[in-house]
A = this chain, B = another copy of it.
Amino acid sequence: MPISPFNLYPDFNILRLSHVELVVTDLARSRAYYADLLGLQVTDEDADHVYMRALEERGHHCMVLRRGEKGEVGYLGLKVFSEEDLDKAERYFRNLDHKVEWVERPYQGRTLRTHDNFGIPLEFYFKMDRLEPIHQKYALYHGVKPLRIDHFNCFSPDVDASVEFYNNLGFRVTEYTEDESTGRLWAAWMHRKGGVHDMAFTSGVGPRLHHTAFWVPTPLNIIDLLDLMSTTGYLANIERGPGRHGISNAFFLYLLDPDGHRTEIYCSDYQTVDPDLEPIKWQLTDPQRQTLWGAPAPRSWFEHGSEFRGLETRLPVATASPIIAP
């Protein structure tokens, strides 16, 4: 097994992925997509920002839309276990010679900005404004009824290196795809919060954000969203699905927002809190890893992603092609 062991007792305690800042070129259009169509709840907005949360979340935001010149990603937000963990994180990243800075973020307490081994901007915090529960205010449920942010997936130019970096932070691989021709990792799914992943890496031109995923109640909510999108002018935003992933066993749908940021709608993966949970290995040549039912992913799914603001990308280390002809 090419998976290096994860750090059972990392230097600081990352609780879960928390939120993403997406830069969008037309704030009203993107607000319509995420809030009116998908069903995220707007918690605040001004001329340049829209803050949103999903229906079972009590933190102020899981997504921040920021008006900008082009579609790109500002940063990935992660919540730590305590204020002390922020100080430990600062020391950890300084020891790595990664740039660290304390930044001001509305509705959040102390926020530490740094980056991962390939430069992906990460922002850690512990305190965020807590809002009243709305998960039983069923009049608010619409669209695909998003319950919570579930995970990020990023293109990495070297998945082995990304996995090693996040293993050290205490992320554990739950499933992975091996490129048999090289023995290298082609993709990996890594978690902190007890699901299949908080963060996944896919081999490709990177680092780029492949997608942000939201958890929904059942596959029927995904079918409802497809019916809605295909009859309200969003047909072209549907990229792939619906289907069942082999990897993660989740039911999925992939969408592209008006700036091309990819959204996954996701449900039905499994609990992973056991530290001795064995990772599941898949072969790059197995079409069922992509879709258990056999349907191949479109080429765009392997090639298109969102760049992080100000971050150069590079070609990936050589791998076999993941594209399976229909």
Contacts and interface: CB of A to CB of B under 8 A. Distances in A.
Given A130-B278, A133-B280, A228-B138, A193 B235 contact: no
A182 interface: no
A273 interface: yes
Interface residues of A, number: 61
Q: Indicate the member of A79, A141, A228, A270 with the most B CB atoms within 10 Å.
A: A270
A194 interface: yes
A113 interface: no
Contacts of A8: 81-82
Contact of A292 (B15, B218, B231, B277): B231
Copies of this chain in its oligomeric complex:
4
Interface stretch (A91-99, A241-249, A304-312): A241-249
A140 to B, nearest CB: 9
A127 B271 CA distance: 17
Nearest to A271: B148
A60 interface: no
A contacts with B: majority SS: loop
A217 interface: yes
Nearest to A232: B139
Given A81-B275, A298-B326, A292 B133 contact: no
Nearest to A242: B242
A288 B220 contact: no
Contact of A268 (B194, B217, B271): B217
Nearest to A55: B270
Interface in A132-173: 133, 135-139, 141-142, 147-148
Contact of A249 (B16, B135, B229, B294): B135
A59 to B, nearest CB: 7
Contacts of A294: 230, 235-236, 238
Contacts of A59: 274
Interface string A169-210: 000000000000000000000000110000000000000000
3 closest residue pairs by CB, A with B:
A56-B270, A138-B227, A138-B228
Given A141-B227, A218-B220, 12 more contacts: A16-B273, A82-B275, A135-B270, A136-B227, A136-B246, A138-B224, A193-B271, A194-B194, A220-B220, A223-B251, A227-B244, A235-B293
27 contacts: A8-B82, A56-B270, A81-B275, A130-B278, A133-B280, A136-B227, A136-B231, A137-B231, A138-B230, A139-B228, A141-B224, A147-B270, A193-B271, A193-B273, A217-B218, A218-B219, A219-B220, A226-B293, A227-B292, A227-B293, A229-B293, A230-B288, A230-B292, A235-B293, A235-B294, A298-B326, A326-B326
